Amino acid sequence: MVSATPASPPDGRRVALLTLGCARNEVDSEELAARLHAGGWAVSTDGEGADVVLVNTCGFVEKAKQDSIQTLLAAADTGAKVVATGCMAERYGRELAGSLPEAQAVLGFDAYPDISARLDAVLAGEKIESHVPRDRRELLPLTPVARRDSGVVLPGHGSPATPVRAEPAADEHTPAHLRPVLRRRLDSGPVASLKLASGCDRRCAFCAIPAFRGAFVSRTPDELLAEAEWLARSGVRELVLVSENSTSYGKDLGDPRLLEKLLPQLAAVPGIVRVRASYLQPAETRPGLIEAIAGTPGVAPYFDLSFQHSSEAVLRRMRRFGSTTRFLELLAAARELAPEAGARSNFIVGFPGETRADVDELVRFLSAARLDAIGVFDYSDEDGTEAVGLSGKVPAATVKRRYDKLSALADELCSQRAEERLGSTVEVLIDSVDDGVVEGRAAHQAPEVDGSTTLVAPPTGGVDLTALRPGDLVRATVTGTEGVDLVAVPVEMISASA
């Protein structure tokens, strides 16, 4: 791995790095940015004037794939050379290249350690062989503890292969703040994602991610603490822990309870005021982890639980576990420890074999769960998944009708949940101050997906609104709601940003 802050590159080789999809992709892009910067490229997120536009694509669902294609086509219109990488490029490779001649290259994950040289070749007009897709689960040993030293490229891990420049080797005695970090931030906001792991060992019938992201591999606590300290020194105040399945963290390192131990260590990093865990699997969310999330100072009492449905019959067909009763018990256990805890989840409607009774069961769960944010997705077949071959396909018109019904219910229920917070006290991390409008998020609001909190001036006294800055953490009283969004009056500064 290398330092994230090498000397500034010379002018003349400019790359715009555009990121689509999830927060995990954002971390991958910042690794690519560090490699490119160290290789002499001037890196930005603005395609204007770029020699090469590198699009980190998303290949999760059909809409995401279409967004990726549209972004690649728009990049080609700028006159720059266009390179596709990321999940869609990894998943489809030559097929994508054949259908998208506007892209000069389609690069998979294995190209990441050598990304600077690949773009040099593209800029020189050389023909780059397109990526050939393969099931990345087959590249890693079946035994989780044997995976770390396999030499397989893992995006966002500061992957193996050629370092970009020599650095003193780190060992177990090297303090976290002296460990090298392979990352270059692409924005200056007070929130950043920290990737716990890559890949997934689950076999959900609707999901293709393990085939192109690979089997589950954790990063070590030392790596994570070093990156957390580096992010804090760059002005980050909130860490959002991301992965395909955060509840599996540590199982390949010999300690399935490692996330419980890591959370207080991350929360103790100087400058960090909030740590947020995301992508929790309900079947793997153990009592000790619930206690760590609900009761550790500096850790947001926030439960991002991947329920997907609540009908036991549908969950079995999805190759998942749980039921309305079990899920409600899980939420109750969290709220017993932290009554104000936030909770969100996503749900799929129209999965093969889903009946009216299954939909009614999901409605029953949602009505009782008091979730702060609900994502509803209409099922569609995904290449390479088991669900493509399942019987009992729900007609498209029925899927749409169920989707519309559940989406409307979700909006109503989340608005009601926000109203329950009227009069309560929340801790708001300020994200932006723009023309006097101060926007932030309470502990139950993750970036971009769970709504926000607008701070308004108190009638008299209190915190001076005009003095607030991004990264400040304030205590506020909720005075209004707009859907899932809150309006609050700041009453106390908890921690001012540097």
pLDDT, tens digit only, all 498 positions of the chain: 334 444 444 456 999 999 998 899 999 999 999 999 999 999 999 888 899 999 999 877 677 778 888 888 888 888 899 999 999 899 999 988 888 889 999 999 999 999 999 999 999 999 988 889 999 999 888 888 888 778 889 999 875 443 444 344 455 555 555 568 999 999 999 999 999 999 999 999 999 999 999 999 999 999 999 999 999 999 999 999 999 999 999 999 999 999 999 999 999 999 999 999 999 999 999 999 999 999 999 999 999 999 999 999 999 999 999 999 999 999 999 999 999 999 999 999 999 999 999 999 999 999 999 999 999 999 999 988 999 999 999 999 999 999 999 999 999 999 999 999 999 999 999 999 999 899 999 999 999 889 999 999 988 777 889 999 999 999 999 999 999 999 999 999 999 998
Q: Which helix (H) or strand (E) holds 265?
A: helix 258-267
Tell me the C-alpha distance between 279 and 216, whole Å.
14
The pLDDT value given to residue 349: 98
The pLDDT value given to residue 47: 80
The pLDDT value given to residue 130: 87
Say what the pTM is: 0.92
Residues belonging to the binding site for [4Fe-4S] cluster are 22, 58, 87, 200, 204, 207
Query: What is residue 354's three-state secondary structure?
Result: coil
Query: Do 107 and 81 contact (CB within 8 A), yes or no?
Result: no
CA-wise closest residue to 290 among 307, 298, 308, 302: 302
Helical H segments across 39-86, by residue range: 62-76
Tokens of 397: 């018109």
- The residue count for the chain: 498
Query: Do 366 and 374 contact (CB within 8 A), yes or no?
Result: yes
Residues belonging to the binding site are 22, 58, 87, 200, 204, 207
CA-wise closest residue to 110 among 147, 149, 159, 56: 159
Tell me the C-alpha distance between 111 and 106, whole Å.
10
Chain centroid to CA 232: 19
Tell me the C-alpha distance between 327 and 365, whole Å.
8
The pLDDT value given to residue 167: 43
Tokens of 452: 């926000």
Q: How far is the CA of 491 from the CAs of 47, 63, 352, 463, in angstroms?
A: 42, 42, 51, 6
Q: How far is the CA of 43 from the CAs of 11, 53, 103, 140, in angstroms?
A: 10, 10, 19, 32
The pLDDT value given to residue 65: 77
